[in-house]
Amino acid sequence: MIRKAKISDVRSMHGILSEYAARGLLLGRSLSDLYAQLRDFIVVDEDSTHEIVGTCSLRICWEDIAEIRSLAVREDFRGSDLGRAMVEICIREASDMGLKKLFVLTYVPAFFEKLGFKPVDKSVLPHKVWGDCIKCVKFPDCDEEALILDL
């Protein structure tokens, strides 16, 4: 079941995101960041055990653009289309809010291209670059690819 994240989910979310961050696959999030941005997150709650097995965030950046962030599915659930389902929920939510564009920075561009995202130069994302990216250990040598979806 995919649902909005709750306070009780934060430590599990942190664990999943930390595993990906340790492998350099996404930007890590501190517990305090997760608590502060909790309203942006959805999670996959595994039906039989009620364990959190995936997480994703939709963060509004400006009046017309938002970012999909912190998309991660626990390794033992990869390949189950849970990531795709979470992204589709974020796309619908962004569209329902009246946003015009949705972007992602990723090491897996093919995944997002299957969902209609198109490669774009990072320079068209100035709010993102000077917001979160400046805090990244890889800044200014970001090796993620930027993709954008027109809604």
SS (H, E, C) the chain: CEEECCHHHHHHHHHHHHHHHHCCCCCCCCHHHHHHCHHHEEEEECCCCCCEEEEEEEEEEECCEEEEEEEEECHHHCCCCHHHHHHHHHHHHHHHCCCCEEEEEECCHHHHHCCCCEECCHHHCHHHHHCCHHHCCCCCCCCCEEEEEEC
CA distance to 26, 59, 143, per residue, from 149 (Å): 20, 14, 20
List CB contacts of 50: < 8 A, sequence separation 6 or more.
none
Domains: count for the chain: 1
Residue-level pLDDT at 62: 86
Average pLDDT on 99-105 reads: 94
How far apart, in Å, do the first and last CA atoms of the chain sit?
25
Average pLDDT on 51-75 reads: 94
The type of residue at 22 is: A
Give pLDDT tens digits for 64-86. 999 999 999 999 998 889 999 99
Residue-level pLDDT at 132: 66
In the predicted structure, residue 43 carries a pLDDT above the cut 80? yes
CATH number for the domain that contains residue 129: 3.40.630.30
Residue-level pLDDT at 27: 82
Average pLDDT on 5-16 reads: 97
pTM of the predicted protein model? 0.90
Residue-level pLDDT at 129: 54
Residue-level pLDDT at 151: 96
Give pLDDT tens digits for 17-29. 999 999 988 888 8
Confidence bin at 123 (pLDDT 50/70/90): confident
What is the rounded average pLDDT for all residues in the chain? 90
